[in-house]
Amino acid sequence: MIELTGYTLTLEQMELILYKGKKVVLNADALERVKKSREAVNRIVENDKTVYGINTGFGKFSDVKIDEKDTKALQLHLIRSHACGVGEPFTERVSRAMVVLRLNALLKGFSGIRVEVLERFAFMVNNGIHPVIPQQGSLGASGDLAPLSHLALVLVGEGYVWRDGGHIPAKQVWEEFGLEPIVLEAKEGLALINGTQAMTAQGVVNYLEAEKLAYDSEWIAAMTMEALHGITDAFHPAIHEARGYKEQEDVAFRMLNWLEDSQLTTKQGEMRVQDAYSIRCIPQVHGASWQVLSYVKEKLEIELNAATDNPLIFEDGEVVVSGGNFHGQPIAFAMDFLKIGIAELANISERRIERLVNPQLNEGLPPFLSSQPGLQSGAMILQYSAASLVSENKTLAHPASVDSIPSSGNQEDHVSMGTIGARHAQQIIANARKVLAIEALCAMTGCKFRGTEKMAPKTREQLEGLRQIVKPIEEDRIFGPDIERIADYLNKK
Active site residues: 52
Task: Estimate to the nearest angstrom the gap between the alpha carbon of 480 and the chain centroid.
Answer: 25
Strand extents, DSSP E, 289-429: 312-314, 319-321
Report residue 182: phi and psi, to 5°: -75, 135
Instruction: For residues 23 and 123, give the distance between their C-alpha atoms in angstroms, rounded to a whole number.
Output: 9
CA distance 359 to 196: 50
- CA–CA distance, 266 with 256 (Å, rounded to integer): 12
Round to whole Å and give the CA distance between 304 and 11: 8
82 dihedral zone (left: phi>0; alpha: psi -120 to 50; beta): alpha
Task: Using alpha carbons, select from 83, 39, 321, 325 the residue that is nearest to residue 186.
Answer: 39
- Rounded distance, CA 415 to CA 51, Å? 24
Sign of CA dihedral 463, 464, 465, 470: positive
Measured in residues, the chain has a length of 493
Q: Which residues share a beta bridge with 373?
A: 376
* Burial class of 76 by CB neighbour count within 10 A (0 to 12, 13 to 18, 19+): middle
Task: Work out the number of other CB atoms within 10 angstroms of the CB of residue 361.
Answer: 13
Residue 101 vs residues 13, 23, 121, 168, 171: alpha-carbon distances, Å? 12, 13, 10, 23, 23
Q: 237, exposed or middle or buried, with CB in 10 Å at 0-12, 13-18, 19+? A: exposed
Q: Which contacts qualify for 400-403: CB closer than 8 Å, 24 or more apart?
A: 400/332, 400/335, 400/336, 400/424, 401/329, 401/332, 401/333, 401/335, 401/336
Smallest CA-to-CA distance from 211 within 136, 296, 92 is with 296
